[in-house]
Structure 1
Amino acid sequence: MVATISVSSPNSTLLKNPIYLKDSSSNFVGGSLKGLCLNLKPRQQRRDSINFVAASSSTAPSATTSNSNGRFYFNITGFPFPLGPFLNRLTIRTEAVKGSIWLFEQEQALGFSSVSTNIRMTVIKLKSGGLWVHAPIAPTDECVQLIKELGAPVEYIVLPTFAYEHKIFVGPFSRKFPRAQVWVAPRQWSWPLNLPLEFFGIFRAKTLKDEDLSTPWASDIEQKVLSSPEVGIGPYVEVAFYHKPSRTLLVTDAVIFVSRQPPECINKESLLASAKNGLAVKILSKGKEVPDEPVVDNKRNLQKGWERMVLQILFLGPSNLLEPNASFEQMSEKLIVSPIVKTLVFSKVPEKVRDWVYSISRDWKFRRIIPAHFAAPINASRSDFRAAFGFLDEFLDDRYDTWPSLSLLFSSIKGKAASYFPPDDMRTLSSLDQFLVSVGAVKKTVSGRKR
């Protein structure tokens, strides 16, 4: 999600019976699929112009030493593509805030392609002593063990979005922690069939409500819901959370931060495969001659593989995969809204998005952001968060031309640069948007002006 803007559901031949297999230790493992998202190993980062920093982890990543022990997870479902890894998922745990927030990350691969991303689960220790789990990932034995090592019971499991790649793991994860309460974002739906939550193994779930102070974690964590039914075939729903003791904002797909180096959870083989000059590179080479040469294992090719992955995930069809560095530099080391989410979702409902962003930045004095993909945690202020949404001015009518304060006006101006995406890279995504509008899958800008 990066941000995925549509929900996937299991393909039709598997709709009647979810798949559950037993691994070598006789534990049930839910068959599932994973969607499009990225992450980066938390590292100290610096961006000179606006001073974003991806905060360094206070502890080293924890994982078992075996490549397969405790990492089995059978995964074949998904629309439009089955997403891997299909049998083996490494889990990496880092401590984002000492003694209170931990990040758990796994790799995701787009079908049988060489494009891999990451997905992130965030675990917060509440004042009650229990654990609050945000956007659960595949509950492999390794993942479950890393959670148990925290020495606290899982009390709440939270699905903060409608998106399938996060939803698919909630049921299997909750069966590993049967005493935990499950909470889900409102207006859950799936495509191409709108299936009930029970189909995904999610039972007796409670619904998250906007600014609900009656939740059992309200003294620790607040929440704000963005729900936009007008986007297209289904609503876009995302719930933002604010952990008050650590001043941390949690989002799913709203913003991302692409670091220059690849995430640790993506294996070397995937990066080297992406560095090869295959069919996609030849198509997106701007007519230049594409050398057909073996890819050696070195730092340069690993970096090239990462840059190609990022551009394909953000733009679907970037303008030049042969030489990706220039476009990658435009997209990395800054807090942004994913081009996919910007184009297919947020541009359709600019007023609702801006009201949500303004409410978050007005009420919550956060100093770091943890998205579900790409780098985290990100040291960023409320002004930085608003700046990432500066592009909304293009879609708002005259009533929204003036920001409520000078600080917000400055954020809007700064956001113009933060939300600049290379026009050549945006062509495929813009064409897709026009096609989806023409067939009614998504709508034109619902309100405001179009430029």
Structure 2
Amino acid sequence: MTLHALAPNLWHAQHQFSVFGIQASSRMTVVRFANGQLWLHSPIRLTPELQAAVSNLGEVTWLVAPSKMHHLFVGDWQQAFPQAKLYGPRGLARKRPDLTTLQPLPEQALPEWADELLQLPIRGIPAMGESVWLHRASETLILTDLCMWIMGDVPASSRAYASLMGVRKAPNVSRLVRFVTRDKPAARDSVRQMLQWPILRVILGHNTVLEQDAKATLQQALSWFER
């Protein structure tokens, strides 16, 4: 789990794990603000090496669980960085009563984030409660599960799962996300608002970062919401 630079003041790291025999990965994104403070999106499993690498970048000030699906390791990070403020979607506190310092994510970026990040909740998919962000300086969109693409040389179990979910051949809205979407028009409105942002790169929560023709690729991937 090594930190990799994507752009100035923007890094990511991946955690490999197994769920019911399916090999998978999850991604953490780290944003360093102009004042040296760090904003961590979807923290992955904490190791001494990763903790040291992140600490070397600046002061860990905010930990963000971006959805009701991505929160497993935030408690460990909170213990390691007790001064950091922890945010997550509304409803996560019922699922994780152990996260006693958890604060609900607001509708828009906090004032102390707003110069660095745009923020938008994706409505109509309450089981996920996902919010998305745009790193302004690099025009990088940070997603979790709204769009997925399990590409490349991955284990057979991962290929089978990706094919079942419809996210193996190209970026797409997974069949799971389609199934849990309860208000498609509301989700469509959120997606349309997000796609108005200037997007040069897309960080997906699993496996892939879109670097080439990212916005056009994302528009095609999310076209299910328009149907």
TM-score, normalised to structure 1, is 0.47
Q: Does the residue aligned with 1:139 lie in a helix, a strand or coil?
A: coil
Q: Distance in 1 between matches of 2:114 and 2:45?
A: 27
Q: Which residue of 2 aligns with 1:309?
A: 158
5+ residue gaps, structure 1, are: 1-90, 263-270, 272-304, 317-326, 395-451
User: 2:168 is aligned with what amino acid?
Assistant: M
User: 1:146 is aligned with what amino acid?
Assistant: A
Q: Distance in 1 between matches of 2:145 and 2:77?
A: 21
Q: Which residue of 2 aligns with 1:389?
A: 222
Question: RMSD in angstroms over aligned alpha carbons?
Answer: 2.2
Are positions 1:160 and 2:66 aligned together?
yes
User: 1:105 is aligned with what amino acid?
Assistant: Q
Are positions 1:354 and 2:188 aligned together?
yes
Q: Distance in 2 between matches of 1:377 and 1:173?
A: 27
Are positions 1:188 and 2:87 aligned together?
no
Q: Which residue of 1 aligns with 2:115?
A: 219
Select the residue among 141, 148, 154 that pairs with 1:249: 141
CA, structure 1 residues 154+387, in 2 after alignment: closer, same or farther (shift >3 Å)?
Answer: same
Q: Distance in 1 between matches of 2:213 and 2:104?
A: 29
Q: Which residue of 2 aligns with 1:331?
A: 168
CA, structure 1 residues 392+198, in 2 after alignment: closer, same or farther (shift >3 Å)?
Answer: closer
Q: Which residue of 2 aligns with 1:106?
A: 15
Q: Which residue of 2 aligns with 1:123?
A: 30
TM-score, normalised to structure 2, is 0.90
Within 5 Å, which residues of 2 pair with 1:256-295? Answer: 256-262=148-154, 271=155
5+ residue gaps, structure 2, are: none
Q: Distance in 1 between matches of 2:36 and 2:210?
A: 23
Comparing both structures, which one devotes a greater share of its residues to strand?
A: 2
Q: Which residue of 2 aligns with 1:430?
A: none
Question: Are 2:162 and 2:168, in contact at CA under 8 Å, matched by a contact in 1?
Answer: no
Deviation above 3 Å: which 4+ runs of structure 1? 377-383
Q: Deviations 1:358-415 (Å, cap 9, x if unpaired)?
A: 00112x1011000110212533443332221222344xxxxxxxxxxxxxxxxxxxxx
Select the residue among 161, 170, 174 that pairs with 2:78: 174
Q: Which residue of 2 aligns with 1:403?
A: none
Query: Taking every aligned residue pair, what percent have the same amino acid on both sides?
Result: 21
Question: Are 2:123 and 2:187, in contact at CA under 8 Å, matched by a contact in 1?
Answer: no
Question: Are 1:369 and 1:380, in contact at CA under 8 Å, matched by a contact in 2?
Answer: no
User: 1:345 is aligned with what amino acid?
Assistant: V
Q: Does the residue aligned with 1:198 lie in a helix, a strand or coil?
A: coil
Query: How far apart are residue 314 of structure 1 and its match?
Result: 4.8
Select the residue among 174, 177, 181 that pairs with 1:341: 177
Q: Distance in 2 between matches of 1:224 and 1:393?
A: 19
CA, structure 1 residues 378+236, in 2 after alignment: closer, same or farther (shift >3 Å)?
Answer: same
Question: Are 2:150 and 2:162, in contact at CA under 8 Å, matched by a contact in 1?
Answer: no
User: 1:331 is aligned with what amino acid?
Assistant: R
Q: Distance in 1 between matches of 2:187 and 2:213?
A: 19
CA, structure 1 residues 338+156, in 2 after alignment: closer, same or farther (shift >3 Å)?
Answer: same
| Structure having the higher Rg | 1
Q: Distance in 2 between matches of 1:94 and 1:221?
A: 20
Select the residue among 33, 38, 47 that pairs with 1:140: 47
User: 1:359 is aligned with what amino acid?
Assistant: Q
Q: Distance in 2 between matches of 1:331 and 1:137?
A: 23
Q: Which residue of 2 aligns with 1:92?
A: 2
CA, structure 1 residues 126+379, in 2 after alignment: closer, same or farther (shift >3 Å)?
Answer: farther
Q: Distance in 2 between matches of 1:143 and 1:314?
A: 32
Q: Does the residue aligned with 1:374 lie in a helix, a strand or coil?
A: coil
User: 1:353 is aligned with what amino acid?
Assistant: A
Q: Count residues in correspondence.
A: 227
Q: Does the residue aligned with 2:26 lie in a helix, a strand or coil?
A: strand
Q: Distance in 1 between matches of 2:177 and 2:65?
A: 19
Question: Are 1:100 and 1:125, in contact at CA under 8 Å, matched by a contact in 2?
Answer: yes
Q: Deviations 1:336-378 (Å, cap 9, x if unpaired)?
A: 1122212x123x421011101100112x101100011021253
Q: Does the residue aligned with 1:227 lie in a helix, a strand or coil?
A: coil
Q: Distance in 1 between matches of 2:102 and 2:222?
A: 32
